[in-house]
Amino acid sequence: MSAKRPLAASVVLVVEDDALVRLYAVEMLEDAGLTAVEAGNADEAWDILAGRSDIGVLFTDIDMPGSMCGKTLAARVHACWPDIRLVLTSGRHRLADEEVPDHGLFVSKPYRSGDIVEAIVHAR
C-alpha cells in the first residue's frame, strides 16, 4: 500500500452530477478547512486529475452520466495515482468499504459534514 498525501497539502476533488449536492459537499469541506474543486462527471474529473498535481482526495458519487461511473473512476484513479485517497458515495447503492478500490471508504447519502471529513481522514 502506498503512502497517501498529507491532507493539509491536498485538494479534494468533488465529483457529483447534481449541482446542488456538489455545492453542498464543497461548502462542507471548505467549512472543515479543506480546499475543494468540482467536477460534474467522471470525464471532467479525469481531465482535472490529468492537469493538476495537488489532488489528494477523490470524493465521488457512483451514479453519473458520461463514459464511466464513480466506482470505475475510483479504480482508474487508484491505478494511475495510488497516492490519492478515495471516498465514494451514493444514495442508491450501498458498498462495503472493502468494495472501494485501494482501501478507500464509502459514505451513504444523505451525509453530514462530519461523515465526509471522517472518511477522508481515514481513507488509506
Could you tell me the three cell numbers for 70?
464513480
Label residue 1 by pLDDT band (50, 70, 90).
very low
pLDDT in the model for residue 7:
65
* pLDDT 10s digits, 63-86: 999 999 999 999 999 999 999 999
Strand order in the sheet with 55-61: 35-39, 11-15, 55-61, 85-90, 105-108
| pTM listed for this prediction | 0.90
Top-level class of domain 7-122: alpha beta
* pLDDT 10s digits, 45-55: 999 999 999 99
With b meaning 16 or more CB within 10 Å and e meaning fewer, what string describes 15-26? bbbeeebbebbb
Residue 120, pLDDT > 50, answer yes
Write phi, then psi, for 25 (nearest 5 degrees).
-65, -45
Distance CA 79, CA 23 (A): 28
